[in-house]
Amino acid sequence: MGEDSVTVLFGFTQAIALTMSVGFLVYVYVIIVPYLRHKPLPPGDSAAFDWHFLVPCRDEEAVIGGTVRYLRQTFPQAHVWVIDDDSDDRTREVVASLQDGAWLHLVRRHRPAARTGKGDALNAAYRALKSWLGRHSEAHRQIVVVVDADGRPAANCLDMCAGATLFGDERIGAVQIDVRMGNRGVAPPAARGWRRWLGTAMVRMQDLEFRTAIAAIQKSRGYTGTISMGGNGQFARLSALDDIGGPEAAPWRGSLLEDFELGVHLLTAGWRTGFTMDTYVDQEGLYSLRRFLVQRTRWGQGTMQCARYVRRIWDSRHLSTLGAAEILYYLAQPWLQLVGTIVYPIPLILLVTRTIADPAWVWRWFTGGAWVLFAVYGSFGIMPFLIWGPIYWWKCERQGSFLRALGYGACYAAYIYTFYVTSWRAVIRLARGRNGWSKTRRNTERPDGVIALDH
């Protein structure tokens, strides 16, 4: 490659990197402001609605018993629907042993129709619920709550979701609540040394991510009208699900990100979605980096699959251009991360090449002021992530000194860089046509135990 070509490549990649970095910095500023301004809203009256927890299970014997007991004791007025996705373990037996009158329901699925994805499992429960309610139920009063098999919704969640700005508003079709890691600050059992430290830090970072960055994104989406749904702590009005269910009575669709998909279908059908930080669902954070990478690869691949909705979103009469642009930016994230892994290193590679060829020139260039550029671009790369550490410490978990807050921020910056790995893994899986559901193992599942496998 000639020197001119190298200079052009350098200039071009520098411009793209600068645009992406500046765009991301502005985005982070825009989402931080509404998050920091958040004020709790008053609760509503949960008795105005009927509540149905849907708990999809695929080999969940380790956790399902405790979850069902918790849900029934904490929310005695709510029905619990456990969907057994033809588990290979004792999930079914555990649930059967807990039978609790008319309030606990077991929806059984059988292969080959079973184990085809979480969306299909939820659709099976939706149809069972519709059949159980009968034709004359008031669908707008029925609220379906999707909870993971290890989920622990906060005791106030029904009242908070019944609030005037959430299901108290008849235009609201679905509500997502904040997600926390119930095992934050708890070291992985039996782990020692650096594994113990890494496991504890992994869970802390997941807690930080959900309670600050993701919550801030969701808060800002309140302005664009594009609040999305998550896989845990997802509340939906039955009449809204009926609207988008179609003739197959299947409101959840087939991508690996069926929760996000649900939100897109609701929004493009004219329903509004809500988000609240005034209540939460606790779930188990993953201690294992390997399991975390598997989970995030699945999410990345799911986001890539949802690119098929871009046209639908932009054609919708119900979404503003700003809202459609926000969803487009979200869907573009894994692709931008792929671009980033190519664009960001190029200036550095060229610099290393130049240093090998002419170290004296590079030293003069660096000490002659280029160090400032390194400082500026370095802070661009780290600051948008580092800042969440102090915010988390200030708003969520005020323990320890401010140094700990900075430590959280530094760890979060490193944590986020794993997405560059998972985006590549996701695109490779996509290219190979591997679109199956690779369920993330729970912390309590042993690698040699019975697990749900990709198909």
Partner 1 sequence: MTTTDVAGPRPLAHRLLVVALSAAAVGLVVGHLAYQTVEVSLAGLLLRLFSSSGVYVAPSEQTVYFGLGTSHPLGLTMTPECTSAFLLVPLLLVGALLIGLRPRIAGRVMWSLALAAVILVVVNQVRILVMAGLVSWLGTDRGYYWGHTMVGSMVSVFGGAIALVLFVWLATRGDTGHTDG
Residues that bind partner 1 (CB under 8 A): 7-8, 10-12, 14-16, 18-20, 22-23, 25-26, 239-240, 243-244, 268-271, 310-312, 314-325, 328, 368-370, 372-373, 376
Identify which of residues 111 and 311 has a Cβ nearer to partner 1 in the complex: 311
Question: Amino acid identity, residue 144?
Answer: V
Handedness of CA 283, 284, 290, 294 (dihedral sign): negative
Nearer Cβ to partner 1 (47/322): 322
- Which lies closer to partner 1 via its Cβ, residue 11 or residue 40? 11
Distance CA 177, CA 148 (A): 13
DSSP string, 337-369: HHHHHHHTHHHHHHHHHHHHH-HHHHHHHIIII
Report the nearest approach of partner 1 to the CB of residue 302 (Å). 21
Nearer to partner 1, 336 or 421 (CB): 336
CB closer to partner 1 out of 293 and 310: 310
CA distance linking residue 144 with residue 181, whole number of Å: 22
Nearer CB in complex with partner 1: 138/315: 315
Distance of CA 319 to the CA centre of its chain: 22
Cβ-based nearer residue to partner 1, 122 or 343: 343
Cα–Cα distances (Å) from 46 to 67, 140, 158, 250, 288, in that order, read 21, 13, 5, 26, 38
- Least separation in angstroms between residue 18's CB and partner 1 is 6
CB of 80 to partner 1, least distance (A): 28
> For residues 208 and 213, what is the distance between their CA atoms, to the nearest angstrom?
8
Q: From the CB of 252, what's the least distance to partner 1, in Å? A: 16
Give the residues across from 273 on adjacent strands. Answer: 174
List the one residue out of 168, 60, 85 whose CA is nearest residue 443: 60
Q: Which is nearer to partner 1, 73 or 321 (CB)?
A: 321
Distances (CA, A) of 347 to 7, 210, 386: 10, 33, 23
Shortest Å, Cβ 81 to partner 1: 25
Give the 3-state secondary structure of residue 245.
Answer: helix
Minimum Å gap between C-beta 141 and partner 1 is 15
Nearest to 162 by CA among 76, 242, 50: 50
The conformation of residue 440, written as its DSSP 8-state character, comes to: P
CB of 320 to partner 1, least distance (A): 5
What is the closest distance, in whole angstroms, from the C-beta atom of residue 321 to partner 1 in the complex? 4
